[in-house]
Chain A
Amino acid sequence: MWIYAGVERTIFMGLKFTFPGRFVSPLGFLGMLTFVLFIILGITGALLMLFYEPILDRAWNSVQTINDVIPYGFHLRNIHYHASNAMVMLALLHMYYQYFSGRYKIRNEILWVTGIILGVLTILEAFTGYDIIFSERAELAISIAASLTNSIPIMGPQMREAFFGSGFHDFVLRFYAFHVFFLPIALLGLMVVHFPRFLVFDVPMVMAISGAVMLVGGVFPVDLGLRFDPNTPPGITVPEWYLTGLYSFLRSAYDKFTTGVAWPGLFIFSLLIIPFVDRYKKFSWKDRPIVTAVGITGLAQIIVTTYWGFYIDPDRTKSLLERLVIDPIFLYLIMILLVPLSFGFTYMMIKLAKNAEANAKLQPKKPSSGAKSINLPQNWIFVVFIALIAFQVYLNIAAYYAVLAGMKNYSLFIVGIMMLVFAGMWHLFRHGRSMEKAPPPKPVVPPSPLKAKPTPAVTSPTPPLALESGGSVKPVALGSPKEEKPIANPAPARGASATGTLDSSGLTKKSEHLTLQTTENQEAKSK
């Protein structure tokens, strides 16, 4: 108990952690999931540091050793690689969700701006990561990065010398320093500012994401690439997916600074200033047509160029240059064409959405019961639970034998499945707890449309959650102990919805309450 008292003096009291007692849409806590991946990357990366050697002639070989020789090196490297991709992807999704739902408003500007910087640093972090393998692709990436830095007017050459040093030996060593220290420390520092006060930690979702990373790592294990040799022609290599958009612009062979520095710079800059430009009073994408259209345009351009960057003319009779270079006129024409297309698309979507809204208002409300929730009888929960545990035992054995047989990627795949099963078990667990708490889900009163609304307020002491992402789910009773005081703490929800940082703030206080009370109970019992 004294630990709890001690925590009161720490920074953690400023944060409100929520452990949702039921399924909540992950859209609202994509940021937390990104952070979880950051932690996974930190742990796997720290372990990889034990064997990686950032020296010119040893970098690639040490990665090969990690991959092929060191027990579980393959696993850690694959998790590290795939988690990096997942982190970039989740960060992007997180940003776009916040963008389209207008969350950067209401005094969240600081969160937004730090978020954009975090996103840029995340991509740099991922970029420096795949460069220090020093494979053929890494060498190409480094040379492009260096020449882009060099192309910056006035300060460019000095910046290149300062950041990159001179020669491959420096590049590998410095990128390593950036990758394991400078960038992560900057990320952590910015995270302190970026963290909102209300955080959701959804264990099943976190485990599912980790499981998905491992599963993908098992199915698509990342290759080493060929060791860079300055005397042999490299194969055609394309950067990682988050940079192919930029790469397609570079491939137009137009001026390096414009294509490689100015365009992405402009994109980042416009994201940075969007909260200060967006003057709409409402939040929803439907009520902010221009901002939505601009966002859709950017997104469409990113998707098209990302694909374009990957595409290389398969005709081998043509020269490499012909296959690689993208006609700038064609490229920019498409980019410009995407603008009216995206605006039209946005207009159409808003029209459709508004129509649907209007229609829904006209029609009598369909009670959203029935198909929504699966209600297992108590006994069946135990049965399913035991089945899952048995499955876990089987998977454990399978994973072990897979490692013994040298089937590394298969074992990684199985461990991924185990994570997913764990996520399912946890979900079942909390579901069972909530069932225990509020046993029969209310004898299904054929809900008259009039009654449908007020019911939730009665069933649970939580104020109706001001959810956007959580959707229309009724606040199901959370897995809190029985002797909970009904009106004890409905208040804090206001604060949350005022700052708007979190969807399910209503859950916050309750779960805190829960942890405190359970420990109290334990204490009482032990006495």
Chain B
Amino acid sequence: MAQQPSDNRSRVSRRDFLKLMAAAGTVMTFAPFVDWGKFLPNPSGQLRERQKVELPDGSQANVKTFPVNHSEAVIYPKTKDLVLNKESFRVWQFIRLPEELGGNKNDVSAFRMYSQVCLHLWCLWKYWPQEGRKRGECPCHGSMYDPLTGQAFAGPASLQAPPNNVLPRLDLEIDTQGNMWVKPPNWSVNGNGIVGFGRFLT
């Protein structure tokens, strides 16, 4: 019985040990390259700082001036490259909710900012403020979105399983002058969502 441990020890021969060392060495040598996989995804959407909500006319959106039950297409993140600014995946619908949904309050709760890329097949939906509509509608296959939550309630997008049925949403904040800013996003289905793929409603 006492010899048992020494038996076990002798089971690893010199040759096996050498092989083990070689394997360990190889793993250690190539381990850093695993992290290099981060090269592949495009990091351009990862912003650390808040950004202005820049309206199409170039001004920054302001709580005091932005009309109720109204929407604008906002580019986020905006670049200096005109081509990239045309990218659907950077187009967001900046909405001030209608009065009955609390749009006349002068705080962030009156505003929504959803990705304009329809979750069905990536056309650009937009908000229709007309009486009786007051919802997001996609021109392509007629998906409709609830402006309050960003959830699709009609059309093909509404038939998709979560998280593919709720629009990605950006978080906003208002400074003392009433200017509106976009908070740094968390691009995941449990955070702000993934453009074109949706988010879980929390």
Contact pick for A146, options B42, B140, B196, CB 8 Å: B196
- Chain B positions near chain A (C-beta within 8 angstroms): 37, 40-42, 44-45, 83-84, 86-90, 117, 121-124, 139-141, 156, 159, 161, 164, 189, 194-197
Residues of chain A with a CB closer than 8 A to B41's CB:
158, 161-162, 165-166
Sample (21) of A-B pairs whose CB atoms are under 8 Å apart: A55-B83, A56-B83, A56-B87, A57-B83, A140-B121, A143-B196, A147-B164, A162-B40, A165-B40, A165-B41, A166-B44, A166-B195, A167-B42, A167-B195, A169-B84, A230-B88, A230-B122, A231-B124, A231-B139, A320-B141, A321-B156
Check A167 against B141 for contact (C-beta < 8 Å): no
Contact pick for B124, options A147, A166, A169, A230, CB 8 Å: A230
Check B122 against A232 for contact (C-beta < 8 Å): no
- Chain A positions near chain B (C-beta within 8 angstroms): 55-57, 139-140, 143, 146-147, 150, 157-158, 161-163, 165-170, 230-234, 253, 255, 320-321
Q: Which residue of B lies closest to A169 (CB)?
A: B87
Check A233 against B156 for contact (C-beta < 8 Å): no
State in angstroms the CA–CA spacing of A198 and B53 once bound together: 67
Residues of chain A with a CB closer than 8 A to B196's CB:
143, 146
Residues of chain B with a CB closer than 8 A to A168's CB:
87-89
State in angstroms the CA–CA spacing of A401 and B34 once bound together: 59
| Contact A169-B121, Cβ < 8 Å, known A147-B197, A162-B37, A321-B156 | no
Check A56 against B197 for contact (C-beta < 8 Å): no
Residues of chain B with a CB closer than 8 A to A169's CB:
83-84, 87
Residues of chain A with a CB closer than 8 A to B159's CB:
253
Q: Which residue of A lies closest to B140 (CB)?
A: A233
State in angstroms the CA–CA spacing of A205 and B156 once bound together: 49
Q: Which residue of A lies closest to B38 (CB)?
A: A162
State in angstroms the CA–CA spacing of A237 and B197 once bound together: 21
Q: Which residue of B lies closest to A321 (CB)?
A: B156
Residues of chain A with a CB closer than 8 A to B83's CB:
55-57, 169
Contact pick for A166, options B45, B139, B156, B189, CB 8 Å: B45
State in angstroms the CA–CA spacing of A253 and B87 once bound together: 28
Q: Interface of chain B, helix or strand or loop or mixed?
A: loop
Residues of chain B with a CB closer than 8 A to A230's CB:
88, 117, 122-124
User: Least Cβ distance of B23 to chain A in Å?
Assistant: 25
State in angstroms the CA–CA spacing of A165 and B45 once bound together: 11
State in angstroms the CA–CA spacing of A157 and B124 once bound together: 22
Contact pick for A233, options B45, B141, B161, B189, CB 8 Å: B141
Q: Which residue of B lies closest to A161 (CB)?
A: B41
**Top 8 closest pairs, chain A to chain B, by CB:** A167-B89, A162-B40, A161-B41, A165-B42, A230-B124, A233-B140, A167-B87, A230-B88
State in angstroms the CA–CA spacing of A209 and B89 once bound together: 43
State in angstroms the CA–CA spacing of A57 and B140 once bound together: 20
Check B89 against A56 for contact (C-beta < 8 Å): no
State in angstroms the CA–CA spacing of A300 and B141 once bound together: 33
Q: Which residue of B lies closest to A320 (CB)?
A: B141
Residues of chain A with a CB closer than 8 A to B156's CB:
321
Q: Which residue of B lies closest to A170 (CB)?
A: B42
Interface centre among A147, A170, A232 (most CB of B within 10 A): A147
State in angstroms the CA–CA spacing of A178 and B98 once bound together: 46
State in angstroms the CA–CA spacing of A56 and B42 once bound together: 15
Check A143 against B87 for contact (C-beta < 8 Å): no
Q: Which residue of A lies closest to B197 (CB)?
A: A150
Q: Which residue of B lies closest to A150 (CB)?
A: B197
| Contact A232-B139, Cβ < 8 Å, known A56-B83, A57-B83 | yes
Interface centre among B84, B122, B141, B164 (most CB of A within 10 A): B122
10 further interface pairs, Cβ-Cβ under 8 Å (given A56-B87, A231-B139): A55-B83, A57-B83, A143-B196, A157-B197, A162-B41, A167-B87, A230-B88, A230-B123, A230-B124, A255-B161
Contact pick for A56, options B40, B86, B124, CB 8 Å: B86
State in angstroms the CA–CA spacing of A158 and B188 once bound together: 11
User: Least Cβ distance of A374 to chain B in Å?
Assistant: 57
| Contact A166-B140, Cβ < 8 Å, known A140-B121, A143-B121 | no
User: Least Cβ distance of A144 to chain B in Å?
Assistant: 8
Residues of chain A with a CB closer than 8 A to B90's CB:
167
State in angstroms the CA–CA spacing of A56 and B189 once bound together: 26
User: Least Cβ distance of B30 to chain A in Å?
Assistant: 18
State in angstroms the CA–CA spacing of A139 and B159 once bound together: 21
State in angstroms the CA–CA spacing of A239 and B197 once bound together: 21
Interface centre among A56, A139, A168 (most CB of B within 10 A): A168
Check A166 against B121 for contact (C-beta < 8 Å): no
Residues of chain B with a CB closer than 8 A to A255's CB:
161
Check A233 against B123 for contact (C-beta < 8 Å): yes
State in angstroms the CA–CA spacing of A476 and B86 once bound together: 66
State in angstroms the CA–CA spacing of A478 and B7 once bound together: 72
Residues of chain A with a CB closer than 8 A to B44's CB:
166
State in angstroms the CA–CA spacing of A55 and B83 once bound together: 9
Q: Which residue of A lies closest to B187 (CB)?
A: A166
Q: Which residue of A lies closest to B159 (CB)?
A: A253
Residues of chain A with a CB closer than 8 A to B45's CB:
166
